[in-house]
Amino acid sequence: MNTTTLCPLGAESAKASVRFFLGVDGGGTGTRVRLSDLSGRILGQGEAGPSALGQGAEQAWAHIVLAARQAQALAGVEALDWSHCAIGLGLSGASVPAQVEAFLALQPGFALLALDGDGFTTVLGAHGGRPGAVVAAGTGTVGEVLRRDGSRACISGWGWICGDEGSGAWLGLKAMRHAHQAQDGRVPVGPLARAVFAVVGAEREPILAWCAQAGQHAYASLARLVFDHAEGDNIDPVAVGFVQEAVAELERLALALDPAAELPLALCGSIALRLAPNFSGTMAGRCVSPQGDSADGALHLIRSVLQRLGN
């Protein structure tokens, strides 16, 4: 998506009133908010629960505000007034117009707001606002690229139910499907299936009950079982195969983002970093260490918007 910018006070009033920047990284698992002054000095950071827009606008704002208040407390800033704050947000689900509309309708009075997807703010943070590509795989998966001509693209990020290949939720779903087959007797009961049974139950009814209430985060929590049994003493070839599939999916994603392999590539997210040692030599050679994270990118986003208002 293109950045959504909201200036409820009007551009000139917003520019004059801003004293602090807030950078928000919000996904399906948690929210991080970083507070900085106008010079860019980081004052504090707070954390709270998920703020993915697909989980509801009210929840998103509740967790963003909670994390912002934590950052304020750590910074020792008293009575932080939202009307003196410019907030940049990189949120999962920001590509769905209806979700964005519902979210903006509840904004609690920030002087200036800039919203984009968390994948794009990850690109901005990883490459300091300069061209580059990012493969981000954690609870979900998304690939983003900012090209040298200023154009951008987003690949994957279709959601955990029917996409997000190579993510934690994707690995968890594969583990659960394998456990279903093992419980049925369609495949042997191996270490990975037994590990899933230890979490959700080994009989049909508790398994069905767990699946009926499980969401993205719950399935992503099963990814650790795949990694636990892809190496070490209790190895399971099924888990090894799932890890290899995840690596292949992320490599395909990176190639689609930058077919000419001319841009720096950063890997972000717990799953991508866990899989990185298994990447091919060619792909590993393209990777650079991120300069910053999605919250840094959200700060870059809102600073650039304020700067444009001044031109």
Per-residue pLDDT tens over the stretch 3-53: 787 777 677 777 788 999 999 999 888 999 999 999 999 999 999 999 999
Task: Tell me the CATH number for domain 131-289.
Answer: 3.30.420.40
Q: Indicate whether this model's pTM tops 0.85.
A: no
User: Fold identical between 4-128+292-309 and 131-289?
Assistant: yes
Q: How confident is the model at residue 273 (pLDDT cuts 50, 70, 90)?
A: very high
The tens digit of pLDDT for each residue in 62-76 reads 999 999 999 999 998
Q: How confident is the model at residue 2 (pLDDT cuts 50, 70, 90)?
A: low
Residue 259: which of 147, 151, 164, 156 has the closest Cα?
Answer: 147
pLDDT at 310 over 80: no
Structure tokens at 234: 């209790």
pLDDT at 1 over 60: no
E strands present in the chain: 4-6, 20-26, 31-37, 42-48, 85-91, 112-117, 132-137, 141-146, 152-156, 265-268, 287-288
CA angle, corner 152, sides to 110 and 145, nearest 5? 100
Residue 60: which of 112, 16, 100 has the closest Cα?
Answer: 100
> How do the domains of the chain map onto residue ranges?
4-128+292-309, 131-289
Return the higher-pLDDT residue of 15 and 256. 256
Q: Which fold has domain 4-128+292-309?
A: Nucleotidyltransferase; domain 5 (3.30.420)
**Per-residue pLDDT at 166:** 95
Helix (H, G, I), strand (E, B) or coil at 147: coil
